[in-house]
Every structure is written in C-alpha cells, then in structure tokens.
C-alpha cells in the first residue's frame, strides 16, 4: 500500500505479505513475487521488507486517522482497489475505517 496526502507532506508506504498466491498476470504487472515457503516478498527480484496484512492495514489506518475525513484516490478504485481494501479491512477487523474514509475516487 502506498499513500500521500495533500494535507501534509507525509507519505505512507508498506509492502504486505499476500494471504494467497499472486496470479501470474498480477506478478507481471506489479513485479511482485511471494515465496510462500520462506514467507518472503520480492519486488523486481529483490527481497523487500514486508508485514502481515493486518499490520499493514492497521498502520495505514493510523496514518489516515489524523487527516480524517479523507477521500482515497486510486487507479481502478471503483472496479478493484476500493472493493479489495474494504473487504480486507472487514476481514482483519480493523476499526475506524468508515469514520475516517468518506469515499473513493477513481483516477
């Protein structure tokens, strides 16, 4: 996950370990590969520091909350990113999302 804010000069960036295999087309598009045996994530062939999905989402919420209310913008937000983010937040029982994020915009 990555983010930046027009309210401050703060940015957010974290790699989260996937909870399932990364599809070959997604690997090609993102240059990310996850070795499930070692639980290591690689970007463009280089290992990157990563955290669990729960930890990454909680860190993202901690970064967003002081800027509340926020609108999140993303490529393909409507058809992909917003749905995936909301489902992940719900599955990980992360609280405060609906109080912090008031909407999404597709770029």
Q: What is the mean pLDDT of the chain?
A: 89
**Structure tokens that stand for 19 in this block:** 């909870």
Using alpha carbons, select from 24, 39, 107 the residue that is nearest to residue 15: 39
| Mean pLDDT, residues 88-92 taken together | 93
Q: How far apart are CA 42 and CA 76, in angstroms?
A: 24
pTM: 0.85
Determine the pLDDT at residue 1. 64
- pLDDT tens for 11-36 read 888 999 998 889 999 999 999 999 99
β-partners of residue 101 are 70
pLDDT > 90 in the chain, percent: 66
Give CA–CA dist 106/74, Å, rounded.
5
Cβ contacts of 24 within 8 Å, gap of 6 or more:
none
- Which position has the higher pLDDT, 76 or 98? 98
Query: Is residue 88's pLDDT more than 80?
Result: yes
Between CA 19 and CA 107 the distance in angstroms is 27
Position 5 pLDDT exceeds 80: no
The yes-or-no verdict on residue 3 having pLDDT over 80 is: no
Whose CA is closest to 22, among 11, 37, 36, 9? 36
């Amino acid at each position: 996950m990555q983010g930046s804010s027009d309210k401050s000069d703060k940015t957010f960036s974290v790699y989260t370990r996937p909870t399932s295999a990364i599809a070959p087309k997604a690997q090609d598009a993102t240059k990310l590969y996850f070795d499930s045996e070692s639980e290591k994530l690689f970007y463009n062939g280089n290992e990157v520091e990563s955290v669990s999905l729960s930890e990454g989402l909680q860190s993202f919420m901690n970064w967003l909350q002081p800027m509340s209310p926020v609108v999140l913008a993303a490529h393909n937000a409507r058809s992909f990113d917003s749905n995936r983010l909301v489902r992940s937040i719900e599955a990980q029982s992360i609280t405060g999302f609906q109080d912090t994020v008031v909407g999404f915009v597709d770029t």
